[in-house]
Chains A and B, each alone.
Chain A
Amino acid sequence: MRYIEWIVMFAVAGLGIALANFVGFDVGFLDSLPGILILLGISLVAVMISKIVPLKLPIVAYCSILGLLVACPVSPVREGVIEAVNKINFTAPLTMVGAFAGISISDQIKSFLKQGWKMIIVGVLVMTGTFLGSVLIAQLVLSLTNAI
């Protein structure tokens, strides 16, 4: 994607977040704006890094690391960033993700129904096993290291 495509699409995503934050949580557009600009700024820098750095990491990995850096205790902008972004409710950015994700799998319904009940059971067990395996080890290690 060209930069102009990223920028306009991020602006669209920002509008989506503002809309969800307003309809779902009564937070006005102007109150959401600083937080949204920070999130979009981080996302755009992440895109730039992924275009420049030859290392093939997913863009979301850069988003996550950059977010952590701007909000970590040594960051000079920490307080302002955290305060602004806290105005964006946790699920507000997700509604648009759901809309796009739904459209993107909308041509798989027939294929899904053809899988039959066995594959659906196995799929549910795959997710269950992945989650339970992690939570068991996490609980064990957290207790052993006295982190909880």
Chain B
Amino acid sequence: MKKETFIYPSFKARMKNEYRIILAAFLFIVIADFIGQIEVPVGPGKLILFPIFYALILGIISGPEILKFFKTKEVKAASGLVIVAICPFIAKLGINAGASLETVISAGPALLLQEIGNLGTIFLALPFALLLGMKREAIGATHSINRESNLALVTNMFGPDSPETRGSLSIYVVGGMVGTIYFGFLATMTAAIGFFHPYALGMASGVGAGILMASSVASLTAVYPDMAAQISALASTSETISGLTGIYVAIFVGIPLTKKLYEVLEPRFAKLRHEPSEVLTRRQNEEKGKVEEA
């Protein structure tokens, strides 16, 4: 078995580096949960603000770029702590899924097939990215929801300096900053249309990003308190499936499909924008190269 490498030389070293983060987190919890849940009506839906958002914002502003309370090495340490803190939450959702196992099983086919729906990003976001003038960075940006594992994959496939990786990193950053709030809002707005069953909304929340799923499920259970147990059961099952399959879906379907669509769509959007097409220019250069070789 491979020997595990440790970030810290000892447990004491970890505590020395991380005690300030832990104390701050306790303080943030007191402030955030004291404020509690706030509902703001927006159009047909509502924006529901949860303590997690205030804690997130408090964390962001206390960092090295604003209040400078935390140093860069503490910022790095905090991302490891996210996993520790989210484990008990995911265990709770697993228990909800076990408690509502009948619902989960009867929704089995839908649960498996809706994973394909996560590719919806490509069909919605890629054309808009091209319309806005993005080139190859659009491939990295729109192939998936772009959380940690996707970013690692794109970096690995295209190289750290590639436009694809730049795009993936951009969406990773944007998702981290606005995703938690937006995803919950998106769920309540979609619910407000009135067409979708709460079960469908619940399973759509599991997209392979724990914090986004949490935000969406928290909002949905506030809208449908009677179905809270089933919604969170379906969301957690869907999230687990996404977590297990997401990377393979990206490798074998998401990225190849985005690349293919990019080759087809980019010349058209370039024409629309009266710009030279990246795809056509690249093909011409390849042709020239072949002629010169001959």
Residues of B within 8 Å of A2, CB to CB, are 6, 11
A48 within 8 Å of B by Cβ?
no
* Alpha-carbon distance A133/B142, docked complex (angstroms): 13
Are A148 and B56 closer than 8 Å at their CB atoms? no
B264 within 8 Å of A by Cβ?
no
Cβ-closest chain A residue relative to B240: A64
Are B57 and A102 closer than 8 Å at their CB atoms? yes
B120 within 8 Å of A by Cβ?
yes
> Which residues of chain A in 2-44 are interfacial with respect to chain B, using CB atoms and an 8 Å cutoff?
2, 4-6, 8-10, 12-17, 19-20, 23-25, 36, 38-40, 42-43
Q: How large is the interface on A (under 10, 10 to 19, 20 to 34, 35 or more residues)?
A: 35 or more
* Alpha-carbon distance A8/B11, docked complex (angstroms): 9
Residues of A within 8 Å of B244, CB to CB, are 57-58, 61
Count of CB-CB pairs between chains A and B under 8 Å: 435
B123 within 8 Å of A by Cβ?
yes
B176 within 8 Å of A by Cβ?
yes
Residues of A within 8 Å of B109, CB to CB, are 141, 145, 147
The stretch among B72-80, B157-165, B278-286 that forms the contact with chain A is: B72-80
**Choice from A47, A63, A125, A129 contacting B94 with Cβ under 8 Å:** A63
Cβ-closest chain B residue relative to A117: B132
Are A19 and B30 closer than 8 Å at their CB atoms? yes
* Alpha-carbon distance A45/B80, docked complex (angstroms): 18
Residues of A within 8 Å of B187, CB to CB, are 131
> Which residues of chain B in 227-249 are interfacial with respect to chain A, using CB atoms and an 8 Å cutoff?
228, 232, 236-240, 243-244
> What 9 A-B pairs are tightest by C-beta distance, nearest first?
A133-B120, A102-B59, A106-B63, A67-B94, A71-B98, A129-B124, A123-B174, A134-B117, A24-B33
